[in-house]
A and B are shown apart, each in its own frame.
Chain A
Amino acid sequence: MSAVRAIVVANLLRQTRDRVGLFFMVVMPFVTIMFVGLAMGGAADARIPVAVVAADGDPTAAAVLRELSSSPALEVRRADSAEEVRADVRRGAVAAGLVIPQGSTRFDLVMTQTSGSGMAARSEIDVAVGKVSAVMEATRAAEKAGAGPELAAEHVRAAQAESAAVAVRDTGGDSGGPTGFAYTAPANLLLFTFINSMAVAAALVESRRIGMVRRTLAAPVREGTVLFGEALSRLVVAAAQALLIIVVSALMFGVSWGDPLGVTVVVALFCLVATGAAMLVGALVANPQQAPAIGPPLGIVLGMLGGCLWPKEVAGEALTTIGYLFPHSWAMDALLALTRPGSGLGTVWTEVAVLAGMAALALGIALIVFRRRALRVA
């Protein structure tokens, strides 16, 4: 075991000497989490932009507009057409859009499905529309009961004034909607753990190239010991990266990761897959300059497919389906599911089983290939 420790310690020491590598492990993930988180509506005090298409003079539209404008969380602006709203939502210029056709009570809500700010906008719009429809219902009820339109309006206004206090209490507390960080923190955990594992593979290629791996074998150690030591070195780096992101995002951005056991299992399995991938690149690539050229781009592509750069739903069905061939999608689903209250390891057992299978496969292949290419005394 002394030999395994020696290999791990030496590899970690090398890692700490690599300034650029450290920057990508320690600083970069948080810069990304912060910027993307803010862009996706992470800041609680920022007003969420919403576009509304409404005809002038339509009383329903006017009432909804009034309600939306009174919401402290929203910044409402008028748009001319449904197309314009859709374009704005797609561009991210607004978090959501509402199209109110003339004389109809069927509104179209335009939003991307899973952006945090879109969700927040939706809940605000729901509240506003709910209020307006309640007023309309009450007015109709009053008219049916025999009151003239003016009298009915007066009754409703009185009732509204009474309930205002309640309504204020409802919306004035916590802003409640999902913040962007809840999405970007797990997304970037997976993205950076994988990418940096691949980058670490460069050190492994270098070890092979300069003959360190073979030199190690000239010492009285077994092949299996060297193999285990090299794999453990990569796993420790991946796990440290993941742990760092979990702890710092919880402390800095208030991200709650959910059931600790579930998160530990999912993240650990993902780290094992990343280790397998790193060992495979480390075994197959001949030149240390090739590893950073292959690894991180691969990590980014898998991250895209797995919803680590943008929500999977944005990517469309075909890409999402392809994404499920890789560990990122499964781990992302599991981590997002675990943030929901009341969920635990049992909630994500399918994802855990798939990740475990992938980890076994990746590590198994990697270790066999690494042994054959780097260690075998032929």
Chain B
Amino acid sequence: MKPALVCTDLVKRYGDRTVVDRVGFHIDEGEAYGLLGPNGAGKTTTISMLVGLLRPDGGTVTVGGVDVAADPIAAKRLIGYVPQDIALYPELTARENLRFFGRLYALPRRELAARIGEVLELVGLADRADDRVETYSGGMKRRTNIAVALLHRPRLLILDEPTVGVDPQSRVAILDNVERLVAEGMSLLYTSHYMEEVERVCTRVGIIDRGRLMADGSKRELVAELGGSDRVELVVDGDVEATAEKLRAVEGVSEAVVTGTSSVRLLATGGRHLLPTLIAAASGTAAVTGVEVVEPDLEAAFLHLTGSTLRD
């Protein structure tokens, strides 16, 4: 079977600023791929090129074997796109919005009514379907936004930060839905700056920062690149910048970044045994008031690959 999505060497420039720089990855049929990166890393720009809303300055995109540049209409039929911003008419009800999009996708009238019922059921909004979208909570709007993308049974679902501004309950509901869809065989591209979400939903992850895809692979592959480094989170009382500087110089520490007004994140081999050394190194500029050593994870991989944190 053809891969659900292949993109190669995607480039997007605005003036002399390169926003997306030779990004390439592929998603197999039925695979869930996560694009993990901080805000402004180029995730949304990349997705806009994948769904045909932005013309790349270089590179190619094929969806289900169809070249997006050559036949955008055919390619768009295969994609279910959930934009980061809610794209719904607020004055209309969820059902009316779905009917609108169903007609855009040229679904036959009789099939459409039934399908609208199905997707509303799927996202758990069947009982509020005839209320205007403007009366919905942020989470309900997000779920409607997702329902729109599922209407025409796409081969590839593309979710751009689907949980931004969503209450915890809706977030759980959205993630449950996405997991179920993937389990049923839907191909997925999921972008987020929340590591936990990507870890939970996706089998393969691409790490993107400043417009570049730094690495991609399964979680295990990415973590293996750390070579046994642990992530160490320190809470300090004092000059954080100076403390981070000092800690970076400690033997065994490969990265040290400031993550807040009183927190520093380190990548360190043998983190557990290094703790006394770290606390001693910090003394003079700050007092260490809290310590946490975390098993290697995507957050650590991200720090290792980019030298920065997922959240600014």
**Chain A residues with CB under 8 A of B92:** 10, 13-14, 17
Question: Is B73 a contact partner of A10 (Cβ separation < 8 A)?
Answer: no
Interface presence of A211 (CB below 8 A): yes
Cα separation A3 to B88 with both chains bound (whole Å): 16
Shortest CB-to-CB span from A13 to chain B, Å, is 6
Given contacts A18-B91, A220-B73, contact A13 B96 (CB under 8 A): yes
Interface presence of B58 (CB below 8 A): no
Question: Is A222 a contact partner of B85 (Cβ separation < 8 A)?
Answer: no
Interface residues of B in 49-95 (CB under 8 A from A): 51-55, 72-74, 76-77, 79, 81, 83, 85-92
**Chain A residues with CB under 8 A of B77:** 220
Interface presence of A159 (CB below 8 A): no
Question: Is B89 a contact partner of A10 (Cβ separation < 8 A)?
Answer: yes
Shortest CB-to-CB span from A359 to chain B, Å, is 28
Shortest CB-to-CB span from A311 to chain B, Å, is 39
Cα separation A309 to B257 with both chains bound (whole Å): 68
Question: Is B83 a contact partner of A215 (Cβ separation < 8 A)?
Answer: yes
Interface residues of A in 176-216 (CB under 8 A from B): 207, 210-212, 214-216
Cα separation A17 to B135 with both chains bound (whole Å): 14
Interface residues of A in 12-28 (CB under 8 A from B): 13-14, 17-18
Number of B interface residues in the complex (CB < 8 A): 30
Interface presence of B101 (CB below 8 A): yes
Interface presence of A31 (CB below 8 A): no
Of the candidates B55, B72, B79, the one having the most CB atoms from chain A within 10 angstroms of its own CB is B72
Shortest CB-to-CB span from A308 to chain B, Å, is 30
Shortest CB-to-CB span from B220 to chain A, Å, is 34
Question: Is B83 a contact partner of A218 (Cβ separation < 8 A)?
Answer: yes
Which of B32-40, B103-111, B211-219 lies at the interface with chain A? B103-111
Cα separation A10 to B99 with both chains bound (whole Å): 9
Interface presence of B100 (CB below 8 A): yes
Quick one: which of A5, A13, A214, A219 contacts B101, CB cutoff 8 A? A219
Interface presence of A322 (CB below 8 A): no
Interface presence of B248 (CB below 8 A): no
Question: Is A377 a contact partner of B103 (Cβ separation < 8 A)?
Answer: no
Interface size class of A (residues with CB under 8 A): 20 to 34
Contact with B along A336-378 (1 / 0, CB 8 A): 0000000000000000000000000000000000000000011
Question: Is B132 a contact partner of A377 (Cβ separation < 8 A)?
Answer: no
Shortest CB-to-CB span from B175 to chain A, Å, is 23
**Chain B residues with CB under 8 A of A216:** 104
Shortest CB-to-CB span from B23 to chain A, Å, is 18
Cα separation A17 to B97 with both chains bound (whole Å): 14
Shortest CB-to-CB span from A205 to chain B, Å, is 14
Cα separation A10 to B55 with both chains bound (whole Å): 28
**Chain B residues with CB under 8 A of A7:** 100, 104
**Chain A residues with CB under 8 A of B103:** 2-3, 5-6, 9
Interface presence of A217 (CB below 8 A): yes
Cα separation A214 to B105 with both chains bound (whole Å): 15
Cα separation A9 to B102 with both chains bound (whole Å): 13
Question: Is A377 a contact partner of B54 (Cβ separation < 8 A)?
Answer: yes
Given contacts A2-B106, A378-B55, contact A218 B79 (CB under 8 A): yes
Cα separation A294 to B45 with both chains bound (whole Å): 33
Question: Is B89 a contact partner of A14 (Cβ separation < 8 A)?
Answer: yes
Interface residues of B in 101-135 (CB under 8 A from A): 101, 103-106, 132
Question: Is A222 a contact partner of B73 (Cβ separation < 8 A)?
Answer: yes
Given contacts A18-B91, A212-B87, contact A218 B51 (CB under 8 A): yes
Residues of A within 8 A of B (CB): 2-3, 5-7, 9-10, 13-14, 17-18, 207, 210-212, 214-222, 377-378
Residues of B within 8 A of A (CB): 51-55, 72-74, 76-77, 79, 81, 83, 85-92, 96, 99-101, 103-106, 132
Closest 7 CB pairs of A and B: A6-B103, A215-B87, A219-B104, A17-B91, A220-B76, A10-B100, A220-B73
6 further interface pairs, Cβ-Cβ under 8 Å (given A6-B100, A10-B100, A13-B92): A13-B96, A210-B86, A212-B89, A220-B74, A222-B73, A377-B54
Can you pick out 9 interface pairs between chain A and chain B where the beta carbons lie within 8 Å of each other?
Answer: A6-B103, A13-B96, A17-B91, A211-B83, A211-B86, A212-B87, A216-B104, A218-B79, A220-B76
